[in-house]
Amino acid sequence: MRSSLPKVLHPLCGRPMIEYVLDAAMAATGSRPLVVISPATEAVRAVVGDRAGIALQAEPRGTGDALRAALEALDDDVEDVLVLSGDVPLVRSELLTALVEARDLDAAALSLVGVDAIDPAGLGRIVRNDGGTVERIVEDKDATDEERMIGEINAGLYAIDAAWLRRRIGDLRPSPATGELYLTDLVRFAREDGRLVAALDVEDDGRLTGINDRVQLARAEWDMRVETNDRWMRAGVTMIDPSTAYLDHGVELAADVVLEPNVTLRGATRIGERTRIATGSQIIDSDIGPDCVIWASVIERSTVEDHVTIGPFSHLRPGAHVGRRSEIGNFAEIKNSRLGEHVRQHHNSYLGDAEVGADTNVGAGTITANYDGVRKHRTTIGERVFLGVDTMLRAPVTLGDDSRTGAGAVVTRDVPPGKLAVGLPARIREPRPIPPEGEDTGS
């Protein structure tokens, strides 16, 4: 991978690739997996957490040595050992279940998966006898020219009789070519012991290809994204251009959601019924309610209630909560603030560390000056407040219900309910009566 990040921690659709392997293993066995790491891949331990046990391979010396380290960490009552590679994230649990059943059915020492590869170069070949029985596996580096002509490759998935494995694991010897201990030598050991090696043959659909570089990583991401998008569309989601809809594994979509082109949904994002995510939007770890429209905007770790419109070019930073039927317009920014029902914040404004009551209008250019250079302070805005154009609210400050500010007001002290704040610094006045709509004001 040419990376300081361990290979199995590179993300696919928002998750480290090893998490997909753990999911498949748990689904197939009902047991907690065991992950083998080395000192160079210690970072895997923190990512795996409680989902799996950890075995340490102190000095990486090949797959056989990794299996030895795992076996030492397993309980003595384990009867079957299922071996997977952490860099094959597209493997399905159904195949793993079939692999275990094949070993049990034939009472084989082990079972493996063979793939008639389109391009077997660099991969271990399965060598069979004239009767078709698996006799051994030869790694590409150790293979003869004749053996490299074999098209059937070893997929690196095994189900093994644990009791037999404990007797034979110590017989592995380093490869003359690489010095590594090959797990695949166990196939030869089984035949020497007169035990059967069962093989499941599967087609080469790319799902069992290990990821060894960024090109293969990108191909796996594409395959996984196509599969994910197809599943959501069959569940009632419309994608105008599925090839430009980027969904992480943890995203949840309700029926009748519409995703326009060039939409990215990351993390644990949830989108409610009939909501439209319009072109250019990116939503990360956020809850969006039903019947909303989000257009060309960025929403991070925020909550948006139902019937809300946002954008274009708005930014909800972490901690934003927008109440139902609110309207957030172009170039509006909200951070760590809660907006009540039917708040209108239409353009070029910033609300940070604020509480905004229902039916409040936020004028263009309004900002909360929430940071004094040392600490953040909160602004509290009541219900039915009207904030004039270019209002600056120097926190901490409170504006009572039905209060108003004039254009360009710099509010440095609390505004009582129903009062008007005008000027720089703002002075408190009685508001002028608002004429009924349509009445001639003489201006």
> In what helix (H) or strand (E) does residue 21 lie, and over which residues does it extend?
helix 17-29
pLDDT tens for each residue of 265-300: 999 999 999 999 999 999 999 999 999 999 999 999
User: CA-to-CA distance for 209 and 123, rounded, in angstroms?
Assistant: 10
Give yes or no for residue 308 having a pLDDT over 50: yes
pLDDT tens for each residue of 24-77: 999 999 999 999 999 999 999 999 999 999 999 999 899 999 999 999 999 989
pLDDT tens for each residue of 324-349: 999 999 999 999 999 999 999 999 99
User: CA-to-CA distance for 81 and 160, rounded, in angstroms?
Assistant: 5
3-state secondary structure of 149: helix
β-pair partners for 392 = 367, 410
Closest CA to 161 of 191, 195, 202, 201: 195
Tell me whether domains 7-202 and 214-429 share a fold.
Answer: no
Q: At what angle do helices 93-106 and 17-29 cross, to 10 degrees?
A: 40
When computed from its CA atoms, the radius of gyration of the chain, rounded to whole angstroms, is 31
% pLDDT > 70, the chain: 98
CB 268 within 8 A of CB 250: yes
pTM to 2 decimals? 0.90
Closest CA to 301 of 289, 321, 281, 286: 286
Kindly indicate the confidence band of residue 440, based on its pLDDT and cuts at 50, 70 and 90.
Answer: very low
What is the residue-wise DSSP string for 181-236?
BPTTHHHHHHHHTT--EEEEEE---STTPPP-SHHHHHHHHHHHHHHHHHHHHHTT
3-state secondary structure of 275: coil
Kindly indicate the confidence band of residue 443, based on its pLDDT and cuts at 50, 70 and 90.
Answer: very low
Q: What is the mean pLDDT of residues 98-118?
A: 93
The pLDDT value recorded for residue 441 is 38
Sheet holding 282-284, edge to edge: 245-247, 263-266, 282-284, 298-300, 315-316, 332-335, 349-352, 367-369, 392-394, 410-411
The single-letter code of the amino acid at 61 is R
CB 344 within 8 A of CB 326: yes
Q: Is 307 a catalytic site residue?
A: no
* CATH architecture designation of domain 7-202: Alpha-Beta Complex (3.90)
Residue 366's Cβ-side half-sphere holds a number of Cα atoms within 13 Å equal to 30
Where along the chain do its domains lie?
7-202, 214-429
What does residue 101 show for φ and ψ, rounded to 5 degrees? -65, -35
Kindly indicate the confidence band of residue 438, based on its pLDDT and cuts at 50, 70 and 90.
Answer: low
Mean pLDDT of the chain: 94
Choice among 249, 321, 346, 347 that is catalytic: 347
Q: May I ask the CATH class of domain 214-429?
A: mainly beta
